[in-house]
Structure 1
Amino acid sequence: MSTGKQAQEEASAAREMVCETVVLGVSGAVGATEVPQLIVLLRREFCRRVQVVMTRTAELFLTPYAAEVFSGQPVGTSSELPKPNSWQGHIRLAKEASVLLVAPATANMVARLATGLAEDLVSTVTLAATCPKVIAPAMNIRMFENATTQRNLRELREHGFYIIEPVVGIEVATMEVSFGSMPQPREIANFLFNVMAANPGAKDQPEQT
């Protein structure tokens, strides 16, 4: 007779996942506090593995330890420079991604990705990835509507990025209801389902070197 743990593992294995690995990049916005819920949802319904990589400022909102607890995987951070051939190496992470998601994506991160800057582990992995790439911008409405930010988003779309539009939420700095918040985890997961449906050839296994 199966134990409770064995039954749980068998049920998990029986679930048909959409893809193998989501590489989840986290940058420094309040929306990072919702990342644990997103990780759990993705692991339950979308993919077999969530690999988290973080910027330094993201660590102010979500500790690497917490991200590791929820993902069940070691977390890549920008605080320490990884060895090229370690599991944290940006090329290895990029090759393993079935889909890459940056959530939340600050105005600074959007600008880095649009201009091809690789100044942290998140932007470096994103630059190297060839899988479908999705970003969820999260910032003050004035920053989001700024002409430079809108230009950056247009450029990302032109380069094949999928953009999850921000939603109305509470801006913590002012406690006002405002546009610019990261969508709820369920909305993000639904968006990812649609992205993968539009990319049936997206890899489910790591690239071979």
Structure 2
Amino acid sequence: MEKKTVVIGICGGIAAYKTAQLASNLYKKGYDVHVIMTKNATEFITPMTFETLTHNRVSVGTFDRNFQYDVNHISLAKRADVFVLAPASANCIAKIAHGIADDMLTTTFLAANCPKLIAPAMNTGMLNNPITQRNIQQCREFGMTIIESASGYLACGDVGKGRLAEIEDIEDAIECLLIKDKPLAGIKVVVTAGPTQEDIDPVRFITNHSSGKMGYALARAARNLGAEVTLITGPTSLRKPVFMTIIEVRTADEMFQEVSGLKDQYDILIKSAAVSDYRASFVNPHKLKKQSQQTTLDLVMNKDILLAMGKEKKDSQVICGFAMETENLEENATKKLLGKNADLIVANQLNEEFAGFKGDTNVVTLIQRDGIVKLNKMSKEALGYEIMEQLLKILIKKRGTIC
């Protein structure tokens, strides 16, 4: 398969050094990475750094005398699958917003007809200036994607918004834009992910081994395919995906309330969170002390989110649940499908190799009313797309169209 081409434009700013990591990461993932730098950017980091990392020559001047038959900036603009400006200075953003093409970077950017991502990085005052904000908004209106600056300590000594977005977030945004086919455009998807935590006292709580990786992979897949995604997540150590609504919760009841509040809005609900079935009947306000060799903890059942949503499901909605089993996988998962009025159950066997919590791979069986499909081992990222494909088919079957 032909490599996809990512063009990185680097404007003058101290954050330019961070872009070396971005270029390296994208190259390692198999992308054909090309870098264009403004003259000011070369004062912060050398072109040779990027040539070493990407194995492609870096362009700086529009009138470079290293002769090639094609017009260099037009050739690269045509090849680009995504064009990202990182860091994007106030000066570069102003030029782009007004169609000024007076160097290699702005000329190539203007000529490119691909998804464009802008990652602003500058002093807080410059970023907040109404002129800069107007220019950023103008870029949005022209169809460009903006990844918001982060907050923190800036090189000038100020503290505030203006830092370059985290490199991992920029990569996430690029990979979203690289997928051009958006079959889920206009569809609202809610994904629950991760574990919940049920307090026993101020120190201890009940939880499980869920890492949230499967739910986050599903949320990214849905977003990349064009859906408007809301991710309701229990506590995890995972980086939050960009370009979606994130709602953080701790307890099963908090998750229930958030999902219930969206029950009339989603087209697809994916309940991949490992929700605690029980909670302590009483949360002690003080740390429980050791009193004997044995102690009893009184538990009460939490609300069943999947069951509740299944009961209130509209004919036009699709609900997907997950089943983690240790025995009788298909039988137990089928009971769950029917008992909770779900459209799809993604079932896996905890004791099966390459399946289960925390790992980067999974082995699942898809349970539907009209059939059972066992999938081979695959990464959770790849599985996210497989599951979304099945859910899209179910949605189309229900509606005749997804519109």
Aligned-partner Cα distance in 2 for 1:86–1:60? 29
Over residues 155-196 of structure 1, what are the superposed CA-to-partner deviations in whole Å (9 max), with x where a residue is unaligned?
11111100010001321122x432101012111001112223
Q: In the TM superposition, what are the counterparts of 1:34-49 in structure 2 within 5 Å?
A: 34-45=18-29, 47-49=30-32
Distance 1:145 1:28, change over 3 A: same
**1:100 corresponds to:** 83
Letter of the aligned partner of 2:42 in structure 1? E
Aligned-partner Cα distance in 1 for 2:96–2:70? 22
Aligned-partner Cα distance in 1 for 2:16–2:112? 22
Gaps of 5+ in 2: 183-403
Counterpart among 135, 154, 159 of residue 177 in structure 1: 159
Partner SS for 1:76: coil
Partner SS for 2:134: helix
Over residues 69-103 of structure 1, what are the superposed CA-to-partner deviations in whole Å (9 max), with x where a residue is unaligned?
1111111013x613685567210110110110111
Report if aligned partners of 1:100, 1:126 keep a CA contact under 8 Å in 2: yes
- TM-score of the aligned structures, taking structure 1 as reference length: 0.80
Q: In the TM superposition, what are the counterparts of 1:11-30 in structure 2 within 5 Å?
A: 20-30=4-14
Report if aligned partners of 1:41, 1:186 keep a CA contact under 8 Å in 2: no
**1:187 corresponds to:** 169
Aligned-partner Cα distance in 2 for 1:158–1:144? 18
Aligned-partner Cα distance in 2 for 1:146–1:118? 23
Letter of the aligned partner of 1:194 in structure 2? C
Counterpart among 86, 110, 113 of residue 96 in structure 2: 113
Partner SS for 1:62: coil
Query: Alpha carbon RMSD of aligned pairs, Å?
Result: 2.0
Aligned-partner Cα distance in 1 for 2:175–2:84? 12
Cα deviation for residue 35 of structure 1 reads: 1.2
Report if aligned partners of 1:82, 1:89 keep a CA contact under 8 Å in 2: no
Report if aligned partners of 1:140, 1:180 keep a CA contact under 8 Å in 2: yes
More helix by share: 1
**1:123 corresponds to:** 106
> How many pairs does the alignment contain?
181
Report if aligned partners of 1:21, 1:49 keep a CA contact under 8 Å in 2: yes
Letter of the aligned partner of 1:101 in structure 2? V
Report if aligned partners of 2:4, 2:32 keep a CA contact under 8 Å in 1: yes
Counterpart among 54, 67, 76 of residue 71 in structure 1: 54
Distance 1:48 1:104, change over 3 A: same
Aligned-partner Cα distance in 1 for 2:163–2:122? 6
Report if aligned partners of 2:81, 2:178 keep a CA contact under 8 Å in 1: no
Letter of the aligned partner of 1:29 in structure 2? G
Report if aligned partners of 2:27, 2:53 keep a CA contact under 8 Å in 1: no
Cα deviation for residue 44 of structure 1 reads: 2.1
Aligned-partner Cα distance in 2 for 1:76–1:88? 12
Higher relative contact order (CA 8 A, sep 6+): 1
Partner SS for 1:25: strand
Which is higher, the Rg of structure 1 or of structure 2?
2
